[in-house]
Amino acid sequence: MLWVHTPKPAQWRSYGGKGISTHEGTSLMELSGAWKRTARGAMLLGADGALKPTIFAEMSALALSTGAINLGQGFPDEDGPAEVLEAARQAISDGMNQYPPGIGFSVLREAISAHQMRFYGLAPDPDREVVVTAGATEALAAAILALIETGDEVVTFEPFYDSYSAMIALSGAVHRTVALRAPHFQPDHDDLRHAVSDRTRIILINNPHNPTGAMLGRETLELIVELAHQHDAIIVTDEVYEHLTFGQTHVPIATLPGAWDRTVTISSGGKTFSTTGWKVGWMTGPSELLQAILAVKQFLTYVNAAPFQPAIAVGLGLPDAFFQGVAGVLQQKRDLLSSGLTQAGFAVSESQASYFIVADARPLGFSDAADLCRRLPELTGVVAVPISAFVTDENKNEYASLVRFAFCKRVDVLERASAQLAGLAR
Ligand SMILES: Cc1ncc(COP(=O)(O)O)c(C=O)c1O
């Protein structure tokens, strides 16, 4: 008998009252499910029910359609260390192409543990206190989904990386924010004290910080630990830019007295080794917390990136000169773009770390950065993203004229972008 595949007609079928319609053209809003609160949390659901693309998707599409230089999305345009890339090729040749163990290959867990000792004096047990994840993104999602009960509160800084608000909303938690204000983007300690309460389950920090490039001062870190103890909260800390700092040494909050027992530290190899597409991340922390998070993580991806795991292990073991080198090169790129933006007429905040710099467009006569970013390709051939994309609707006004530019691009690209942006000043 010959079996012929006959696809169903492209229409939604009816599941009586579940919000799935029989008709084409039915509003997406009628489709029930947790996607709605996730999209709303990520500020991607319009009042009319329209699902908007993320600002990164919108701006990258604009860069593609106009041929503009994309300083919107934070990915490098140069390869990372040759040893790391070669190790991945070798791992594929060596047959490391099947599922790794649920917590990751031991070679990577041992390298992560050794890295934490070498740079920070922390000694996580590679078998119990280290878990490999599908990028920092999965670690964040699993931590939030695992630790939250509906109605718990999560405190983050604002602006915040967009996956935080999406996952907080999906988990059923309430999102409380503490403002980081221009030009230094450090939190007011009274604001922080005010935001954290007995309802707070997680204090979620991002240090160094995307999108502002700020690094939290030691006193702020100490206050966070104090508040976590006082209100019995868990600290989840996203440190993916830990090695991309300009003159200041990164201090993981887990190294502070009293922090380790209630802190989950998340990082990944994407930024440090310019391998954002490999999605090799990890979390370190006390075994009970990691076990609870693993209970969720194992049903998200289970595992990922088999041949890339040993390659990232090679990266973590590179000599100090490599880590100083990546930060040094990036600092020069920051300086280049910063002076280009200043010459173009922006008021530029000093970025202490990360891939990003924040520039205020108000001195150029633009009070709405979202509008400016939509016009920037046509005006200058450059794409950037408005900081309002990282902010809740209630607080958009405070950040309305701020733009984020990524400087993790080739020097010639940044030079061209600077020359083109100079046109704004004329
Ligand atoms: C603050 C922050 N956290 C997490 C991520 C995602 O990391 P990964 O690619 O390892 O999932 C990013 C990427 O831009 C980021 O900026």
Digit-coded pLDDT (tens) for 334-380: 999 999 999 999 999 999 999 999 999 999 999 999 999 999 999 99
Residue whose CA is at the smallest distance from ligand 1 atom 9: 135
Q: Which of 54, 185, 210 to mutate to test the pocket of ligand 1 (most atoms within 8 A of CB)?
A: 210
pLDDT bracket for residue 24 (50, 70, 90): low
SS3 337: helix
| Residue 44 identity | L
Atom of ligand 1 nearest to the CA of 140: 4
Residue 26: per-residue pLDDT:
60
Name the packing angle between helices 135-147 and 162-171 (round to 10°).
Answer: 30
Q: Is the pLDDT of residue 21 over 90?
A: no
pLDDT bracket for residue 11 (50, 70, 90): very low
Q: Is the pLDDT of residue 195 over 70?
A: yes
Rounded to the nearest whole angstrom, what is the distance from the C-alpha of residue 240 to the centroid of ligand 1? 6
Whether residue 244 has its Cβ less than 6 Å from ligand 1:
no
Mean pLDDT of 103-123: 98
Whether residue 142 has its Cβ less than 6 Å from ligand 1:
no
Q: Is the pLDDT of residue 9 over 90?
A: no
Atom of ligand 1 nearest to the CA of 74: 14
Whether residue 137 has its Cβ less than 6 Å from ligand 1:
yes
Rounded to the nearest whole angstrom, what is the distance from the C-alpha of residue 171 to the centroid of ligand 1? 19
Atom of ligand 1 nearest to the CA of 137: 11
CATH architecture assignment, domain 96-319? 3-Layer(aba) Sandwich (3.40)
Atom of ligand 1 nearest to the CA of 355: 16
Q: Which of 60, 133, 239, 240 to mutate to test the pocket of ligand 1 (most atoms within 8 A of CB)?
A: 240
∠ Cα 216 218 223 (to 5°) = 90
Spatial separation of the C-alpha atoms in residues 293 and 296, rounded to whole Å: 5
Whether residue 242 has its Cβ less than 6 Å from ligand 1:
no
Atom of ligand 1 nearest to the CA of 139: 11
The boundaries of every CATH 3.40.640.10 domain in the chain are 96-319
Spatial separation of the C-alpha atoms in residues 160 and 202, rounded to whole Å: 15
∠ Cα 311 316 322 (to 5°) = 110
Whether residue 124 has its Cβ less than 6 Å from ligand 1:
no
Write out pLDDT tens, residues 379-398.
Answer: 999 999 999 999 999 999 99
Residue 425: per-residue pLDDT:
81
What global pTM score does this model have? 0.94
Q: Is the pLDDT of residue 23 over 80?
A: no
Would you say 117 and 144 are in contact if contact means Cβ atoms under 8 Å apart? no
Strands 153-158 and 200-206: parallel
Sheet holding 234-238: strands in order across? 130-134, 280-284, 263-268, 234-238, 200-206, 153-158, 174-179
Least confident of 44-58, 70-84, 408-422: 44-58
Class of domain 55-79+321-425: alpha beta
Rounded to the nearest whole angstrom, what is the distance from the C-alpha of residue 207 to the centroid of ligand 1? 12
Whether residue 161 has its Cβ less than 6 Å from ligand 1:
yes
Would you say 259 and 203 are in contact if contact means Cβ atoms under 8 Å apart? no
The boundaries of every CATH 3.90.1150.10 domain in the chain are 55-79+321-425
Rounded to the nearest whole angstrom, what is the distance from the C-alpha of residue 218 to the centroid of ligand 1? 23
Residue 250: per-residue pLDDT:
98
Q: Which of 353, 341, 348, 340 is nearest to 408 (CA)?
A: 353
